[in-house]
Each structure stands twice: as C-alpha cells, then as structure tokens.
Structure 1
Amino acid sequence: MKRQLILEDGTVFVGKAFGAAAETTGEVVFNTGMTGYQEILSDPSYCGQIVTLTYPLIGNYGINRDDFESISPAIHGLIVKELAEVASNWRSEESLHDLLEAKGIPGMSGIDTRKLTRLIRTHGTLKGRLCGMEVDVNQTVQELQQSELPKNQVAMVSTKDPYHAPGRGKRVVLVDYGAKHGILQELIHRNCDVIVVPYNTTAEEVLRLGPDGVLLSNGPGNPEDVPEGIEMIRGLLGRVPLFGICLGHQLFALACGATTSKLTFGHRGSNHPVREIATNKIDITAQNHGFTVDRESLMNTELNVTHEAVNDGTVEGLEHKTYPAFSVQYHPEASPGPEDANELFDRFMTMMATNLKTDILA
C-alpha cells in the first residue's frame, strides 16, 4: 500500500506504507544515527515530530524489551529509505512494523531520504503530513501553511503524578519534561533515591521532598513554552545543586536571564562532536534538540560557557559562577549513542556530596 508525505512547501514524497494505517501531521526532522532506531522512536523529545532516519536500512535488528526510552512513544511518524522485512538479533521480540502498528504510529519507506534531508538542511524543518494517496495535495498544503505546531508537548509527555524509584544514596528529584529512561537508569546505577515529579511542580514542592540535588530532564519543543519550569528553577538556584540536560539546559539558561532561539534544522544524531573549552577535550555525543541558547545573551548573566559544538560553535554546556549548578545541551546518558560524556553524572554526584558537606560545616 502506498503512502505520501506532503510538506508545507508543496513537496510530495510517495513511498510504501508500514506501521499503523493512520494519518499524522508533525514537524519533519532528520536523525543521523546509524543505529538506535528503537531509542529514537521512543524518545519523548520527538513528541509532535515525524522523524526521517538518514541511515538507509532500518529495522534489521528488530525491537526488544530493553531499549525503550518511554513506555508510550510520542513520535508522530517514521520515515526510512529501506525497511528490513526480516529482523536478525537474539534479543529481537517483534518487528519495527509490528511495534508501530500496535502503537498507532504510521511509517513510510522507499523514498529518497537523502533528498528529504537536503531539503530540511537548506530550508529548515517543515510541517508535513503522512497520509493516504486519496488526500488532496493542494488542500493539504494550504492546511499545513495555516496550521501552528503544538506548544504543549511537555505537558503531553511529562508524568502526571510523582513516583518513587527507591535507593539508599543521594536523593535526586528528577523533573520530568519528557525524561528518557536512560537518565533514570544512570541515577539508579549510582544508587540514588530518585523521586520523579511532573513538569509543573513548584520550587516549594521540590524542596519539601528534601533533595540532595535536582536533575532537569530533556524534553520536546520550545523552552519558552514551559514558563513553569523557568519559575521553578529560579526558586531552586542557590538552594540545591542543579544539573540540566537538553531542554533542562535551555530552561536553566532562561531562568538565569539568557535567551534561546530555534536552529534551522537542529542537532539530532549520535555523532556530534563537542569541545570542553577548559581542556580542549572532544566528546562525541548524542543530541536531539531544535533550539539553542544564544551565546550573546549570556554576557550579562551569571553563567559561563563550558562546552561548545565543534560543527557550528553553538553553546553545549553552562555552569553558574556562584551556585552549584551546571547543564549540557547533549545527552550524557546516550541511549542511543556514545557514552563519552557519562562522567557528567559522576560530576553531579560529587557536587551533591560537596554541597552536603558545606551545609554540615555551616
């Protein structure tokens, strides 16, 4: 069965349908990772987006129970060059097609993903619709041009109620803006006592939980659409150690007086080099974001730039000049991707321990 992708600029791609027999609309983006499609499609940061995978063969190792980054994938659609019909891996439990069909997510294969990627790189991300061949193209283009992308993605993917992942170590409050399971796993691996809270939890509610530290998670969309997070972070600065990842990094910057802006096509993949300014050390990182912190806006803030992207010079890491707080734009938990930056979780652990000693001495 055929399916088409209609973009807001009038471009149409026709391919083969797989996954759910459904129609979907979203922001069309691309990811350059060679592996990790299961983690990508289950990453809550892709809420509202139709993801194009640039690696040509997808689905060849199937789907397993261990590599999900969320229970309910929030991705709106998946586009690949070639879909493997046979999965070959000892962990595989079902095919990519079967998973997408069960989760109500449409997919499309058999198009020139290189052409689509070049189009996005040239003109920026575009609104698009995956739909059947009977749909009127001109009418759809008009609807896409007149529509607005959703602004409530964080509310859609964040947990609705707090929950506890008990441990005997440091107590960490993980603010869920769309947190990947990989972040929680890294904290549990370090024996942290983790309490996961919704995105709109107040600073007072967080402090009442008695945290040794607060981790601001990744998540989808524009950070300016999460004013609750900005206000909460301002209420926590200087009172408890903070560590921000991806959207959490952007919210941390906004709370400290910086600004953010949208990138042309974003950073999405597991092969992005990042330079630590103090040491010139290069980490290859996993990234998934469409917005960035404006470097110029940091001039009059209490933030220092600690990391920058090698490819385009954008801000990749920040630290507060006075308070125990830092953030990175990339994903130190990987999932998928290289684990070069995993040590940042150990830095957070050290920061919490140091802050606890300081409090005791005071």
Structure 2
Amino acid sequence: MKAFLVLDNGTIFEGESFGYETESVGEIVFNTSMAGYQEILTDPSYCNQIITLTYPMIGNYGIHPDNMESSKIQASGLIVKEYVDLPSNFKSEKTLSQFLKEYKIPAIQGIDTRKLTRFIRTNGSPNGGIFVASEYSPSFLEKVKSFPGIINADLAKVVTTSSKYIFGTHTGKKFKLAVYDYGVKTNILRLLDANGFAVTVYPAKTPSEEIMKEGTDAFFLSNGPGDPAPLDYAIASTQKIMEKRYPLFGICLGHQIIGLSLGKKTEKMKFGHRGGNQPVKNLETGQVEITSQNHGFAVIDDQKQDEPISFLNLNDHTVEGILKSGYPLLTVQYHPESAPGPNDSRYLFQKFYDLVEKTKKVKTYDRIYTTPRQNFRTSRWQRFFHRGFGQRRLESRNGRSFSSKKFFRHWLWFELLRDCEKNRATLKER
C-alpha cells in the first residue's frame, strides 16, 4: 500500500506502508542509533513525534517483550529506508510490522532518510505526517499545518502513570526512593531497583508534601517528552523538595525541571540530540563518556558560580548536567540507563545511592551527636570525636570525661545507627 510523508513546508516523500494503515501527525525527528528500534519506539519521550531512523536497514532482529521501555509504542510514526520482514533472531516473537499494527502505528519505508535527515539538520525539526492512501490529497498538508507542535505543550500528563505503584521489591532495601513519572523508562526503574533503592513511582502531579508525609529518603525526576516550561506543578514540587534538602536525581526532562527550579531557562534546540553516540565530558573528572540521548530542549548555562556545569556535550557544548553548591544533587541531560546505547554512565545510579547514604549518615550523626546545650565543656574524648568525625562534639554529662565503658557504648551506638534505618526504635525495644 502506498504511503506519503508530508512536511509542513509542502515537501512530499512517497513510499510504502509497512505499519498500521492510518494517518498520523507529529514532529519529525531523527535518531542515529544502529539498533534498539523497539526501545526507541516504546520510549515515552517520543510522544507526539514521528521517528526517522538513519540506519538504512530496520527490522532484521524482530521484537521481544524484554526490550519494552513502556507498555506500548509511544511514538506517532516510524520512517525507515528499508524494512526487513524476515527477522533473524532466536528471541524474536514477532516482526516489527506486526508490532506496529498491534498498536495501530503507521510506518513508511522507501524514503531517502539521508536526504530527510540533512533537511532536518539544515532547517530544524519540522511538523509532518504519515498518510496511507492510494494517491496524494491536498488535505494531508492541511492536517499537518493544523498540528500545534510540542512547544508549550504539557506532554508529561499524557504519558504519566494514573496511580502510584511499587516497582521491584522493597524487602531488605535501606532507602526509599520516590520516582516522579514524567514518562519514565522501564530500564531506569530496573537500575534504581538493582542499585538498592526501594522504588515507588508517583504520577507527575502528585504534591511533594504528600510524598514526604508518606515517607521517603530521596527523590528522582524521570525523563519525559516535550517542553519543560509548562510543567509548573513539577517545578513547584521540585522547589519544595530542595527546600527540605532531600537528595535529588534528575534525568533528561527531570534535569531540565531542576534547572528551571533553580531559576535557569531552557530553549528549543534546532534538531536535538537523539542517538547512542553523543560524547559528553565529565568536568569533575575530565573523562569523556559516550552517551545515549533523546531530547529536543536544553538548559541554558547562566554562569552562576554556585551552580556550575558538571557535564558538557562535546559536539555543541550544550549543558549536560548541573550541580548546586552544598546540595545533594545529581542531574544529567543524557540517559545513563542507555536502552539502547552504551553503558559508560551507569555508574551514576550507584553514585546517587552513595550520595543518599552519605546524606542520611550526616543527618543521623547530627541528630545523635550534636549537643543542644550551651554549657558545654570539652573533654579528652570529645576532642577525639571532634578530630575523628569532623565538626561535631559529644556531650559530656556534667562536664566530666567519658569513661572507657561510656565511650565504647556511644561508639557502638553510632555504628548501629549508621547501618540501620530504624535502629533507634530497635534499641529502645531492647
């Protein structure tokens, strides 16, 4: 069956349909990944976008359920040079064509994807549409021009979960993590769970105060589609989280929301970053990581001394991560979970766990060892603790020095509290 790709400037590409026979409009973008088309199609960040895959041959390894990044195809359409309908993969359970038809997504092959990609790089990402029909109709262009675009569109509310849910297991986990779902990928949740977090996922508009009342040790802001600017509810919640000094990790859209919460601005990129070969420099270590990316908006560097850039894109020098002086914060514009893409940056999930653990230790230490009394007299053991554990002082009852027995008791108490979340209650029961 014939199919037509129509751009908003009137450009027409004729090809052949291999998806569901329908029509769809959206923003036309390109992804340079050589593999991972199933993960790309099911990534919620592609909501309202039609994906052009620059690698010429697509479909040769079929579809497998384990490669899903959400419960369905999130993209509005697919454009390829050549579709392969005979996959060669022992894990394959269906063809790409069957997969697209199952979720009623149109797709077109036989397009000069190199020409289309060069057009997008030169002119920016246009609006466009895929239309399955025996012949072209002028109404196709009218439908494309009626598409409002993704600027100032709140797409997070389209892809977010309708209710909170627990991911993985909470048994034996030390820290509770609240994940804001703005379009979270499944592999992000897998890696958070695998790195020791008790993960609970919340709808995008859940007030942060409500989550704090339920109890959490840290917050995670997920990836998601579209423009971060209209997400006022997310920005307000993030500012309240930062006021309470909860450890915070943001990826992609989550990184942009944190940037807006800090007073920075975002901008629409000409054609964005989409692919698995984006070089990013870690400005703290000087190391270069090859990253997977999928975004069309970026945070603008405002040169604030207390909010330095932590990661920088080496292709166009856009901001890939920001820090906040004195705050337990980790943000990246790219996707450390890959899926698809390289695994260079997966260490960030463990780094965030270590950051949460360090923050919780400091809070526990403050609560137990910082004296509220003003009449404080320094003892030999207090000076020992001051040197060994930083700017903290032990209270000496009646101003006397601790005996060896008292010192050991307090040391043991500290060790137990450091490694057990509910140790105070446990000690009282004993």
TM-score in terms of structure 1 length: 0.97
SS in 2 for 1:303: coil
Q: After superposing the two structures, state which structure 1 stretch, 242-251 or 321-330, moved more.
A: 321-330
Unaligned segments of structure 1, at least 5 residues: none
Residue aligning to 2:348: 344
- Partners of 1:205 and 1:55 lie apart in 2 by 46
Q: Which residue of 1 aligns with 2:147?
A: 147
Judging changes above 3 Å, is the alpha-carbon distance between structure 1 residues 5 and 153 closer, same or farther for their aligned structure 2 residues?
same
Aligned residue for 1:312, secondary structure, equals: coil
Q: 1:118 — aligned with what?
A: 118
Deviation at 1:74, TM superposition (A): 1.4
Shift in Å at residue 275 of structure 1?
0.5
In our comparison, the structure showing a higher alpha carbon Rg is 2
Identical residues among aligned pairs (%): 43
- 2:180 is aligned to 175
Letter in 2 for 1:334: S
Kept after mapping to 2: 8 A contact 1:285/1:332: yes
Structure 2: segments with no counterpart, 5+ residues = 367-430
Kept in 1, the 8 Å contact 2:16–2:109? The answer is yes
The equivalences for 1:60-139 within 5 A come to: 60-133=60-133, 137-139=137-139
Q: Tell me how far 1:322 sits from its aligned partner.
A: 2.0
Please state if 1:359 is matched with 2:363.
Answer: yes
When structure 1 is superposed on structure 2, of 244-253 and 129-138 the one drifting more is 129-138
Q: Is the 1:257–1:301 contact (alpha carbons within 8 Å) kept by the matching residues of 2?
A: no
Aligned to 1:290: 296
Aligned mates of 2:146, 2:2 — CA distance in 1: 26
Q: Which residue of the partner structure matches residue 417 of structure 2?
A: none
Cα distance, 1:65 vs structure 2: 1.2
Q: Which moved more, 1:301-310 or 1:25-34?
A: 301-310
Match of 2:281 in 1: 275
Q: Which moved more, 1:334-343 or 1:130-139?
A: 130-139
Displacement of 1:141: 2.6
Superposed CA offset, 1:218-276 (max 9, x none): 00000012111101100000421000000000000000000000000000001100001
- The letter of the residue matching 1:115 is K
Contact 2:131–2:140 (CA under 8 A) maintained in structure 1: no
Q: Which moved more, 1:170-179 or 1:299-308?
A: 299-308
Query: What letter matches 1:310 in structure 2?
Result: L
CA distance in 1, matches of 2:106, 2:147: 20
> Which residue of 233, 243, 249 maps to 2:238?
233
* TM-score, normalised with respect to structure 2: 0.82
Preserved CA contact (<8 Å) 1:54 1:80:
yes
Aligned residues: 360
Q: How far apart are 1:52 and its partner, in Å?
A: 0.3
Using the TM superposition, give the Cα deviation of residue 160 of structure 1 relative to its aligned residue in structure 2, in angstroms.
Answer: 0.8
* Structure 1 Cα separation of the partners of residues 198 and 30 of structure 2: 36
Letter in 1 for 2:313: A
Q: Name the amino acid aligned to 2:229.
A: E
**Equivalent residue runs for 1:256-271 within 5 Å:** 256-271=262-277
CA drift of 1:67 comes to 0.6
Q: Retained in 1: the 8 A contact 2:292–2:336? A: yes
- Pairwise CA distance, 1:205: 1.4
In the alignment, residue 307 of structure 1 is paired with which amino acid? F
Q: 2:321 aligns with which of 308, 313, 317?
A: 317
Give distance in 1, aligned partners of 2:137 and 2:286: 50
8 A Cα contact 2:251 2:332, kept in partner:
yes
Query: How far apart are 1:189 and its partner, in Å?
Result: 1.0
Question: How far, CA to CA, are the matches of 1:320 and 1:79 in structure 2?
Answer: 41
- Which AA in structure 1 matches 2:57? L
Deviates more, 1:42-51 or 1:302-311: 302-311
CA distance in 2, matches of 1:279, 1:307: 10
Cα distance in 1, alignment partners of residues 45 and 340 from structure 2: 13
Which residue type is aligned with residue 163 of structure 1?
A: Y
Task: Report deviation, 1:85.
Answer: 1.3
Q: 1:293-334 deviations in whole A, cap 9, x for unaligned? A: 011xx3347421011001000000111112111200000100
Match of residue 207, structure 1, among 212, 217, 233:
212
Shift of 1:134: 5.4
Q: What's 1:163 paired with?
A: 165
Find the aligned partners of 1:137 and 1:319 in 2 and give their Cα distance. 52
Residues of 2 paired with 1:22 and 1:52: CA distance?
Answer: 18
Separation of aligned partners in 2, 1:282 and 1:216: 24
Decide whether aligned partners of structure 1 residues 80 and 323 sit closer, same or farther in structure 2, where only a CA change above 3 A counts.
same
Aligned counterpart, 2:403? none
Give the Cα–Cα distance (whole angstroms) in 1 for the partners of residues 289 and 256 of structure 2: 20
The aligned runs of 1:14-25 (5 Å cut-off) are 14-25=14-25
Does the aligned pair in 2 maintain the 1:246–1:330 contact within 8 Å? yes
User: Aligned-residue CA RMSD in angstroms?
Assistant: 1.3
User: 1-side partners of 2:14 and 2:306: how far apart?
Assistant: 51
Q: Give the secondary structure class of the aligned counterpart of 2:118.
A: helix
Q: Give distance in 1, aligned partners of 2:99 and 2:246.
A: 41
Measured in 1, the distance between the counterparts of 2:335 and 2:164 equals 23
- Kindly indicate whether the alpha-carbon contact (under 8 Å) linking 1:42 and 1:72 is maintained by their aligned counterparts in 2: yes
Q: Distance in 2 between matches of 1:227 and 1:134?
A: 45
Aligned mates of 1:47, 1:225 — CA distance in 2: 16
* Separation in structure 2 between the aligned mates of residue 143 and residue 60 of structure 1, nearest angstrom: 33
Match in the other structure for 1:55: 55
CA distance in 2, matches of 1:20, 1:301: 52
